[in-house]
Structure 1
Amino acid sequence: MANRKRPVSNLLGLAVLGLLLERPMHPYEMGATLRERNKDTSFKLRTGSLYDVVEALDQAGWITEQTTERDGRRPERTVYSLTELGQSEFVQWLDELVRAPVKEYPSFLAAVSYLGALGPERAARALEERAALLDTEVRGLTEAQAEAIAQQVPRLFVIEADYAAAMAHAERTWCTRTAQEIRKGTLAWPTPTV
């Protein structure tokens, strides 16, 4: 049943369900674990959003309160666990996301659609600068992968970094190639009408 309406559609919910597959946790621990694992590069992670998602997952019956803990003078923390329904929904949601491409609207794609407005020189410089920043991003992702391998983290657990590096590399290649076309004059540029 592809693309059906879910009671929770925020992808942060997917991250929460994935964490709760491992063990019960309270939201503060969820956030800390996601940051520790650099999942905040894959999911938009804000504390308020995390608590909202946890509440929505609980209301949908995908997770349930297990216990409430207090550590010293710290505030009480509710520990949640995954329900059978939640595990089933997680697997189905994940399967759909992997199988079917979804039309996304990245801001770079929107900007590229109006690249001509920058003029050839400014467009080439902007693309070259972006390519340099993407080089830095690819190096960082590659270093993070190497560190994970050194720590004997199974590749499957950090495979999103591999995907992100491949996508950044492809984008860098496109930016460099397009900037070169602009500089060589092989990318036709309209004559300004203003």
Structure 2
Amino acid sequence: MVILGFVLEAPSHAYRMHELIRQRGKDNVVNVAQRNSVYQTLSQLKTAELIRVRETAQGEGRPERVVYEITPLGKKTFYAWLEAMLGEPRREFNEFPAALATLMALTPEVARVQLQQRSETLKLQLSESVSTFRTWQDKGLPRLVMLDDEYKQVLLKAEIQWLDGLIAELESGAMTWNEKYLRELAAQFG
């Protein structure tokens, strides 16, 4: 989606797109850590006839670069995907809710330690995200192109707040369990 969006924005080659992903901080929303991932995505988009080769250019002392442009089908598909992704919530099967569903397999203390670790990691991610966001704002990048980062920060803040509340309940003993309690729970609701 992001790669197709870059080609819609302007005809581009793989190296430029990989650099744009990094420069704009979009490596948090698209998994293209390796430039080869961009090439693979471009190949798939080309096979699906969503993009086509516009030109092949070679600068002095540089490798050959294939510049891609979006096709009419690519434009139509891009807008359909974008509208669907924005307007239609989809079920996402994330690992964390699945882990929460079986949290009671751990002791309350082990669960608390793991949740505390998660909260601390998320706090670091939030701090880094806010710092990067401010850096880009200071450089004049409009909020419009950073909405995904803003959304990520809102989600991180909400999860951290929820986690810290749950951790406090585990620390105080307001939420606890043991094998006997779990057996009774299974008998009552099983």
* TM-score, structure 2 as length reference: 0.88
Hey, what does 2:27 align to over in structure 1?
40
Corresponding residue to 1:75 among 63, 84, 103: 63
Hey, what does 1:54 align to over in structure 2?
42
Corresponding residue to 1:21 among 8, 11, 19: 8
Runs of 4+ in 1 over 4 A off after TM superposition: none
Q: How does 1:43-192 map to 2 (within 5 A)?
A: 43-45=30-32, 46-191=34-179
The one-letter code matched in structure 1 to 2:135 is E
Alpha-carbon offset, residue 73 of structure 1:
3.6
Q: Whose helix fraction is larger, Structure 1's or Structure 2's?
A: 2
- Preserved contact between residue 53 and residue 67 of structure 2 (Cα < 8 Å): yes
* TM-score, structure 1 as length reference: 0.86
Alpha carbon RMSD of aligned pairs, Å?
Answer: 1.8
Q: How many residues align structurally?
A: 181
> Structure 2 CA distance, aligned partners of 1:176 and 1:42?
25
Alpha-carbon offset, residue 148 of structure 1:
1.8
The one-letter code matched in structure 1 to 2:121 is L
Q: Which runs of 5+ in 2 are unaligned?
A: 183-190
Hey, what does 1:4 align to over in structure 2?
none
Secondary structure at 2:156's aligned position in 1? helix
> Structure 2 CA distance, aligned partners of 1:56 and 1:135?
36
> Structure 2 CA distance, aligned partners of 1:101 and 1:52?
27
Secondary structure at 1:116's aligned position in 2? helix
The one-letter code matched in structure 1 to 2:30 is F
> Structure 1 CA distance, aligned partners of 2:179 and 2:164?
23
Alpha-carbon offset, residue 28 of structure 1:
1.7
Residue identity over aligned pairs, in percent, reads 30
> Structure 2 CA distance, aligned partners of 1:151 and 1:76?
32
